[in-house]
Amino acid sequence: MSIKRTSLERFRLRRALDTLARKEGRGTELVSLYVPPGRQISEVIAMLKQEYGTAANIKSDTTRKNVQGAIVKVMQRLKLFRKVPEKGLVIFCGAIPQNGAGSERIETYVIAPPEVIQVYLYRCNSKFHIEHLQDFLRAKETYGIMVIDSSATTFATLRGRRLETSKEITSGVPGKHRAGGQSARRFERLREAKLSDYFKRIGKHANEVFLPIPDLKGVIIGGPGPTKNDFEKGEYLHYTLRDKIIATVDTAYVSEPGVEEVTERAPEILRQVRYVEEKRIIQDFLYEIGHDTGMATYGEKEVKQCLESGAVKTLLLSEALDAVRVTVKCTACDYVKQETIRDHEVLEFEQSLSGQPCPNCKTPTLQLAEVKEVIDELAELAEQTGTDVEMISVETEEGQMLKKSFGGIAAILRFKLPS
């Protein structure tokens, strides 16, 4: 799966999990349910009915009521599905304390997992069990790892958290000390020849191990000394693997301990790789804007218009974009109005509607009908037209520029729109 798709998917999942992580019940009242594909809905509901009966033994009246209420809500949601979706189903439900003296509200969240879930889980706790979904936020592409020094090279692959050591080869290269009375120059020539042969063997084994991997995202080279750098400077790897070298790192160890060192540093390395990709995307956008080619635009209104026309090739959205679209409706007439406000202003905006007369029928019957994040609205438009969506962090200078100078919304176009 390309990063162009997953940057949006990962953002949506991370945002949902951040919300869930902040939820906390008064006791063990929050229900977490993971249902893998292949399970029958009827089987899961039967299990929940049994848990409902077991919850009747809870001594605390409040806890018993809240747990049983959450179980009922979960069963109601399950009945909306004819069968478990192909990737599984995750439901969180429970009584969440609200602002105010002792008030609670049962909240329900249904998550469509981005990948197939393997676990079948029912838990009641004071927090939602989100750890199985958090695993999906870890990078799943495969990375090749080589730990090289003058004595041996170890080859490994990293996919998500799964590390596999493929093979290890020894060099046969003698140390730098002179032996057997040979002249220093002759010894050095022999050593260089053996080192060159060793590098060729490294390249051959790397090609055999890494080239057949269809989703190889990158190659990381590690090692305790300069040998790794000497290898990288030569053209011993297949050109496709050379192009995929994303980092060369110093390690204290060789062999498997060296591979473990590289793995520990991999999250930061992969984060930097994503930042490099984000920088390139923003630079492409800035080129079109700077050269006034007409092949890029920015601003919510302008980008939305281009999306509706199918003209957008890549939609750029800042992860820090906090704008929401609120829809106000009058319950007494057909008046509808939309406004764009900040996320933190929603509660105050809703309170301001109380007693405010409808501009159409003059009755004080205005209500907040819908709140939708602008990110979601634009992303849905993009998905309808096959547009790539790139979520851009604010961790880079370019990401900050997208947010501050272009309002967090920009687009690179497929074709110019008539002016």
* Cα radius of gyration (the chain): 29
Q: Is the pLDDT of residue 182 over 80?
A: no
Q: What is the largest CA-CA distance in the chain?
A: 106
Minimum mean pLDDT among 120-124, 275-279, 287-291: which range? Answer: 275-279
- pLDDT for residue 102: 65
Helix (H) or strand (E) holding 399: helix 397-406
- Average pLDDT on 402-409 reads 94
Distance CA 240, CA 227 (A): 21
Sheet hosting strand 104-111, strand order edge to edge: 104-111, 89-97, 30-35, 121-125
pLDDT tens string 327-339: 999 988 889 999 8
Domain with CATH 3.30.1330.30 in the chain: 296-413
Q: What is the pLDDT of residue 302?
A: 94
CB 269 within 8 A of CB 172: no
Q: What is the mean pLDDT of residues 45-70?
A: 91
Residue ranges of the alpha helices (H) in 22-59?
Answer: 41-55
Cα 106 from Cα 62, distance rounded (Å):
13
User: Could you report the per-residue pLDDT of 335-359, keeping only the tens digit for each?
Assistant: 999 989 898 898 889 889 988 999 9
CB 47 within 8 A of CB 167: no
Give 142-176+193-274's CATH code, choosing from 3.30.70.100, 3.30.420.60, 1.10.1740.10, 3.90.550.10: 3.30.420.60
Instruction: Provide long-range contacts, Cβ within 8 A and 24+ apart, for 335-338.
Output: 335/359, 335/360, 335/361, 335/366, 336/369
* Stretch 233-242: mean pLDDT: 91
Distance CA 150, CA 354 (A): 76
pLDDT score of 3: 37
Residue 128: per-residue pLDDT: 94
Determine the average pLDDT of the residues in 375-383: 91
Q: What is the mean pLDDT of residues 87-106?
A: 82
Give the pLDDT confidence of 162-180 residue by residue, as tens digits. 788 888 888 777 666 555 5
- Exposure string of 182-208, with b = 16+ CB inside 10 Å and e = fewer, is eeeeebeeebeeebeebbebbbebbee
The CATH topology of domain 3-137 is 3.30.960
Mean of pLDDT values over 194-205: 91
Q: How high is the mean pLDDT of the chain?
A: 88
- CATH 3.30.960.10 domain span(s) along the chain: 3-137
Mean pLDDT across 216-227: 91
Helical (H) or strand (E) element with 227 = helix 227-233
Using CA atoms, how far apart are residues 365 and 357, in angstroms rounded to an integer? 7
User: What does the pLDDT read at residue 5?
Assistant: 45
pLDDT of residue 1: 34
For residue 181, the model assigns a pLDDT of 54
User: H helices within 79-183, ranges in order?
Assistant: 131-134
- What is the H or E stretch that residue 109 is in? strand 104-111
32 touches 126 (CB < 8 A): no
Phi, psi for residue 306 in degrees, rounded to 5 = -65, -40
pTM of the model: 0.68
3-class state of residue 212 by DSSP: coil
DSSP 278-315: HHHHHHHHHHHHHTT-SSEEESHHHHHHHHHTT-EEEE
Q: What is the mean pLDDT of residues 397-404?
A: 92
Average pLDDT of the residues in 67-95: 92
Contact 370, 326 (CB under 8 A): yes
Tell whether domain 296-413 is in CATH 3.30.1330.30. yes
CATH 3.30.420.60 residue spans of the chain: 142-176+193-274
Amino acid 97: pLDDT:
84
DSSP-based three-state secondary structure for 356: coil
How far apart CA 134 and CA 131 sit, in angstroms, is: 5
Q: Which residue has the tokens 């956008």?
A: 285
**Residue entry with tokens 């999906």:** 136
